[in-house]
Copies of this chain bind each other. A is one copy, B any other.
Amino acid sequence: MKPNDLHKLQARARVLKAMAHPTRLHILNVLAGGECCVCELTEDIDADLSTVSKHLSVLKNAGLVKDEKRGLQVFYTLCCPCILDFMGCVENVLRSNAAQQKNLVS
């Protein structure tokens, strides 16, 4: 593997890693419906405010979301909505896993 390739792979892995958490995937889903403030996001996530805030900063550092402060609130927006298109393929993987399981059982 060339060093140049390694850099590229590391960068990609960082983005994927940022997405690889249930809470963060949920946040991305919600943001797909339009910008949202932290307080709204916190409402339906069963976790401490500070935890949600940290998840948001992970997404932000990966460049997946942008934030904008307006008054007291901070609003987050999805940068590249295409990232959620990928979930269709992830579901394929999960479906074939489920089918596999079924075969093993029967």
Contacts from A to B (Cβ < 8 Å): 1, 5-6, 9-17, 19-26, 44-46, 62-64, 79-80, 82-83, 85-87, 89-94, 96-97, 100
Contacts and interface: CB of A to CB of B under 8 A. Distances in A.
A20 B44 CA distance: 27
State how many copies of this chain the complex holds: 2
Main secondary structure of the interface of A (DSSP, over half): helix
Contacts of A82: 89, 92
A63 B100 contact: yes
A16 B16 contact: yes
A44 to B, nearest CB: 5
A46 B1 contact: yes
Contacts of A9: 22-23, 25-26
